[in-house]
Amino acid sequence: MKFVSSREIRVNPKPVFEALEDEEVVLTSRGKPVALLLEVSGDDLEETVRLVRRAKAQAATSRLRKSAMEQGADKLSQEEIEAEIEATRSERSER
């Protein structure tokens, strides 16, 4: 993986696009990653986008599960879950 600043891609984009042939490029702004650039072709663009979205959804699900475990929410019974849902619904209807 190669890291490239947003300034670098603005000033001299050709080496960045050439690097995409061999590896993914992480675009940074002020030293922090903000985007991932990957090589795609017109033939597989939609499939690549679909796979990236699936990977992002799986990562979000993993973070939620980890958070639930840390908070002990993974040990709630079905009755406790339903009570929590009902309490949230009641709170929303009061607004």
pLDDT tens sequence across 21-43: 999 999 999 999 999 999 998 89
pTM: 0.67
Give whole-number Cα distances, 90 to 27, 73, 75, 93, in Å.
44, 20, 23, 5
Q: How far apart are the first and last CA of the chain?
A: 48
Q: Are residues 28 and 49 in the same domain?
A: no
Structural domain that includes position 10:
1-39
What pLDDT does 93 receive? 85
Q: Are residues 35 and 48 in the same domain?
A: no
Q: Are residues 55 and 86 in the same domain?
A: yes
Q: Are residues 92 and 64 in the same domain?
A: yes
pLDDT tens sequence across 61-81: 999 999 999 998 889 999 999
What pLDDT does 12 receive? 94
What is the CATH classification number for the domain harbouring 34? 3.40.1620.10
pLDDT of 84 > 80? The answer is yes
Q: Are residues 56 and 92 in the same domain?
A: yes
Q: Are residues 62 and 27 in the same domain?
A: no
